[in-house]
Structure 1
Amino acid sequence: MRTVLIVDDEAQIARALQINLQARGYTALTAGTGAAALQLAVSQPPDAVILDLGLPDMDGVEVIRGLRGWTSVPIIVLSARHASDEKVQALDAGADDYVTKPFGLDELLARLRAAARRSTTAAEPPTVSTPEFTVDLAAKRVRRGGGDVRLTPTEWSILELLVRNPGKLVSQQQLLLTVWGPAYAKETQYLRVYMAQLRRKLEPDPASPRHLLTEAGMGYRFEP
């Protein structure tokens, strides 16, 4: 485990955690909102997440559900909420552990190490290939027929999320939360427009896609 995503809107706590983790050899990323956390988790996939529940734009439980829609990365909740029902809700949503504030740094680091031992998260390939196109995740580059395919930032964000989860259903809500943010969680027409654009650029027959598949009423799936 090398990269940890810290999600907390209290800048002082986030910075203190970042400094302490970096001093112990981790790469520590920070996000102050749920939307920023979801976007960062896609663009720079962490090996673990430390998550506060009281975020300014959405409840931390929504972030857990959003992450669990496509990744099994260990999630440790770090929250001032002590009520047992809130702990149960977070754990049921997919959190691996729950630490209450105020907390001891040594205990949190021990829980992080324990989560790493239990984790089955696999290293993701830097390049994903299909017979028609290749996606270089590290370089953020798509090639088809020997040339580069120009994608908009939004098109890339959608494609990246799907390609990082080959064969898995990525829900409409997860895509909308990650790419556009919580204010757009029900704007499914956005997805239809952008998926149509991606298919025109990448699929040999956009009307009968082989790789960017729709699961009606649920979401989308990438098949290599």
Structure 2
Amino acid sequence: MRVLLVEDDLRLAAALATHLRRGGYEVTHARTAADGVRLAADADFVLLDLGLPDADGLKALERVRRGSDVPLIVVTARAGDVLKGLHRGADDYLVKPVRPDELLARMRAVVRRSARPARVRRAVAGDVVVDLAARRVTVAGRDVPLTRREFDVLAVLAARPGEVCARDEILLALWGDTSLSASRALNVHVRNIRSKTGRNGLIVTLVGTGYRLGDDPS
């Protein structure tokens, strides 16, 4: 598999490229958004940093998605931009510092999902529909008003249906830290989502691990 690594940090790029090659991947490295967009057409997989020297990585992501459905993971230190990346078509994300083993596992998971007939644009769990693009949640056809952050929590899970999202991963993506105050806020938002939707099983808690979207929330 040909992997395009778009990363301007040469030391990090070299380390990731070495690990990817050991995993059996062929790696092409680009340092700029312009080169990344140009080379994406020939790649089987794209790893895209958002902090690039010539253009914002989110703009590069939009340009790639205009002409390609190539599996793509955003790799960024900008935790606050994770949801923006997902909304613009990224298949998954990793917040720096990156653990190489986790990166390879995420890539394999994205490839499995990409083999399905359609890319996830909305998630359905029983009578609950989470529309990621429209930022809309309905239960049995009825709109459920969630706050911005409540929807953000649900969107992280809905973007990866059937997969477990680690608690710290959600905290880093939405709050940028794993502090006690952020952890308590996450607890409150999960509780509010269950209450407002009336579906306690919509978010499944895996004690000591994290959360996943429920298959049958009723």
Give the TM-score normalised by the residue count of structure 2: 0.57
Structure 1 residues not aligned, in runs of 5+: 52-57, 66-90, 97-114
- Equivalent residue in structure 1 for 2:135, among 120, 140, 144: 140
Alignment match, 1:152: 147
Distance in 1 (alpha carbons) for counterparts of 2:52 and 2:157: 31
Distance in 2 (alpha carbons) for counterparts of 1:48 and 1:130: 20
Alignment match, 1:170: 165
> Measured at CA, do residues 125 and 181 of structure 1 come closer, stay the same or move farther in structure 2, by a change above 3 Å?
same
Distance in 1 (alpha carbons) for counterparts of 2:150 and 2:158: 12
Structure 2 residues not aligned, in runs of 5+: 1-39
Alignment match, 1:220: 211
- Equivalent residue in structure 2 for 1:125, among 120, 129, 142: 120
Give the TM-score normalised by the residue count of structure 1: 0.55
Q: Which amino acid aligns with 2:130?
A: V
Q: Alpha-carbon deviation of 1:216?
A: 1.4
Give 1:75-224 correspondences, 5 Å limit: 91-94=100-103, 119-122=111-114, 123-182=118-177, 184=179, 187-204=182-199, 209-224=200-215
Preserved contact between residue 177 and residue 185 of structure 1 (Cα < 8 Å):
no
- Equivalent residue in structure 1 for 2:83, among 18, 35, 39: 39
Whose Rg is larger? Answer: 1
Preserved contact between residue 194 and residue 201 of structure 2 (Cα < 8 Å):
no
Q: How many residues align?
A: 163
Q: Alpha-carbon deviation of 1:200?
A: 0.3
Distance in 1 (alpha carbons) for counterparts of 2:130 and 2:210: 21
- Identity, % of aligned positions: 25
> Measured at CA, do residues 174 and 183 of structure 1 come closer, stay the same or move farther in structure 2, by a change above 3 Å?
closer
Alignment match, 2:13: none
Alignment match, 1:11: 53
Q: Alpha-carbon deviation of 1:212?
A: 1.1
Coordinate RMSD, CA, aligned: 4.1
Distance in 2 (alpha carbons) for counterparts of 1:131 and 1:32: 33
Q: Alpha-carbon deviation of 1:25?
A: 4.6
